[in-house]
């Protein structure tokens, strides 16, 4: 068992961070960069994954953490949907679509497993010095 004491240690957050970095890179190129609506929406959705994981962790309550993880998972779905738009109108090619889609799907799976773990282990939360630490099974994230 491992203990997570900072949101930056959560694998799903790390995956979401990489996804966000890649979304910003691809959406800053060519015609994609000029489609302000789609560009901004997919960027906001990817940032939302990271932000909701962090906000939920910092809430210091397991129920709120699970709630925010649900929002993060929903944002991962939003990114996947927007990737289809980007592919369909030619902003990204099949290779870029697959790489980004797979990363968004990985984040979603990690979040889902983490939520399941937290729901099934009600004693996985402890508070130390005003900070929340989650004792987790590494396979759960």
Q: Give the pLDDT confidence of 36-57 residue by residue, as tens digits.
A: 999 999 999 999 999 999 999 9
Full set of structural domains in the chain with CATH: 2-140 (1.20.1440.60)
> What is the reported pTM?
0.87
**C-alpha separations of 59 from 7, 44, 64, 130, 141 in Å:** 11, 21, 6, 11, 19
Tokens at 81, concatenated: 């949907």
Q: pLDDT (tens digit, 9 = 90+) per residue, 76-130?
A: 999 999 999 999 999 999 999 999 999 999 999 999 999 999 999 876 554 333 4
Phi, psi of 5 (to 5 degrees): -115, -5
Please tell me the predicted confidence (pLDDT) of residue 54.
Answer: 98
Closest CA to 71 of 57, 84, 82: 57
Q: What is the pLDDT of residue 128?
A: 34
- Token code pair at residue 40: 């901004």
Which element (helix H / strand E) includes 59? none
3-state secondary structure of 52: helix
**Residue-level pLDDT at 129:** 37
């Amino acid at each position: 068992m491992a203990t997570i004491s900072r949101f930056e240690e959560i694998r799903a957050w790390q995956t979401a961070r990489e996804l966000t970095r890649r979304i910003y890179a691809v959406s800053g190129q060519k015609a994609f960069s000029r489609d302000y609506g789609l560009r901004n929406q997919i960027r906001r959705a990817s940032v939302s994954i990271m932000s909701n994981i962090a906000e939920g962790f910092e809430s210091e309550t397991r129920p709120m953490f699970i709630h925010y993880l649900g929002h993060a998972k929903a944002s991962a779905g939003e990114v996947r949907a927007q990737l289809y738009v980007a592919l369909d109108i030619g902003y990204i090619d099949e290779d870029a679509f697959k790489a980004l889609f797979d990363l968004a799907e990985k984040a979603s799976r990690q979040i889902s497993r983490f939520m399941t773990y937290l729901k099934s282990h009600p004693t996985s939360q402890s508070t130390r010095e005003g900070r929340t630490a989650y004792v987790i099974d590494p396979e759960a994230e």
